[in-house]
Chain A
Amino acid sequence: MISKPTDETPQALDELASEYVLGTLSAEQRAEVQQRLHSDIGLRNAVDNWERRLLGLTELAEPRTPSAQLWQRIERSVEALDRPSSTSRVLPSATWWNRLPLWRGLAGAGLAASLLLGAMLLTQTTVKPTYLVVLVAPQDKAPGWVIQASNPREIQLIPLGVVEVPADKALEFWTKAEGWQGPVSLGLVKPGQTLSVPLDKLPPLEPNQLFELTLENPNGSPIGKPTGPIQFIGRAVKVL
């Protein structure tokens, strides 16, 4: 959808590139530039030139010695990144799936802790998530879904199994942070489906932000607020 405006002058393009590199563009403008950089060679050249021109300014920031853990973290993440492509072993999500009965037998805080740990292991295959949410059924606390966010613009909803939804109903995905008027719909979810949800219209994720899946009509709640029973619920935890 984002394309080069037809009336953009070379000067406007260069100004956009310069303020992108300088850092003064808003989040929306930055996202737009980053989208355009994939295909817009003119903009890419202008940005490259500005990166080169201003690079010397990085010397104004005093170097800092990283903690001893930083390299270990990078090494672990690189290892996790490389692993899935090198073999055709079972995907990490399938491992999760197999362990579900075990986790169903657990209860309470220990469950939450092992889930978080498991989710963190699961997500080692991508960039480290900044937030994790485990969505559990309100009655028996059985985990049904994991949400991970490895960048603040997008979350992934990952099923841990296939849940039963009545034929004339649908699952609707909601979130609400502290201080919001009410939950905001993130759309309909099919059982067993992994879903990426852009959060560009919402404020950034925050700790303790509520996520839930409710049972609604096939087209979703008619009033824009949850009306049906909660199937799964959880709160966001910031990953250290």
Chain B
Amino acid sequence: MPETVFDYEHHLAACARGERQALRDLYVQESPRLLGVAKRLVRDSALAEDIVHDAFLKIWTGAGGFDPARGSARGWMFSVTRHLALNYLRDHNRELQGDVDVPDSTDTGDAQVHSAHIHRCLEQLEPLRRDCIVHAYVDGYSHAQISHKLGTPLGTVKAWIKRSLTALRECLG
């Protein structure tokens, strides 16, 4: 796996020193995955590119303030991107309008992921509760959108998510 040899912390530190080649390397390394995450959340290719553009500016300007003690540099890049996309979604109050039609989360891209710890923990959840977590994290659905999508009352969805997160916390540590 290339991520294990690519030194994200080293590249972020170089960004903090103003070395643009380091930002370029981070872009080459991670932009397709970051764009995939953003696209899945905002469901629009041009908008997803805007998010990734803003994310890389934040990575560039925030590199100096990045603290490796708080988590991995790679994880931070994903967090920056996700929260920009989530802010956009919530600020634009994109409630389900009937035209939101994304493939079922569990259908895509799951071949390569079963090794990861999180997925083993997810599998311990009941399928509907697992869907709640995936729709929220990967698709950016609000409680109301998940309730609509699954045809489950809002209160139930909220309770499922709360309990599923508690279960994930126990499983993941």
Contact = CB atoms under 8 A, between A and B. Distances in A.
Nearest to A27: B90
A203 B91 CA distance: 8
Interface in A13-27: 14-15, 18-19, 21-27
Given A52-B72, A78-B60, A60 B165 contact: no
Contacts of B39: 61, 64
B64 interface: no
Given A57-B137, A60-B138, A74 B70 contact: no
Name the residue among B18, B76, B83, B116 with the largest chain A CB count within 10 angstroms: B83
Name the residue among B18, B27, B118, B122 with the largest chain A CB count within 10 angstroms: B118
Contacts of B125: none
B54 interface: yes
A58 B78 contact: yes
Interface in A146-163: 151-153
Contacts of B24: 71, 75
B119 interface: yes
A91 to B, nearest CB: 19
The A interface is mostly helix, strand or loop, or mixed, namely helix
A64 B137 contact: no
Contact of B136 (A22, A58, A82, A203): A22
B137 A153 contact: no
Interface residues of B, number: 69
A101 interface: no
Is the interface on chain A under 10, 10 to 19, 20 to 34, or 35 or more residues?
Answer: 35 or more
B36 A63 contact: yes
Contact of B161 (A24, A44, A130, A204): A24
Given A23-B137, A60-B40, 17 more contacts: A22-B165, A25-B90, A27-B87, A27-B90, A51-B76, A56-B118, A56-B119, A57-B118, A58-B33, A62-B40, A63-B35, A63-B36, A64-B39, A66-B32, A67-B49, A70-B35, A71-B24
25 contacts: A23-B89, A24-B142, A24-B143, A48-B71, A51-B71, A51-B75, A52-B75, A53-B118, A55-B78, A57-B133, A58-B78, A58-B138, A60-B108, A60-B138, A63-B32, A65-B35, A66-B52, A70-B49, A71-B24, A71-B31, A73-B53, A78-B56, A127-B54, A128-B53, A151-B87
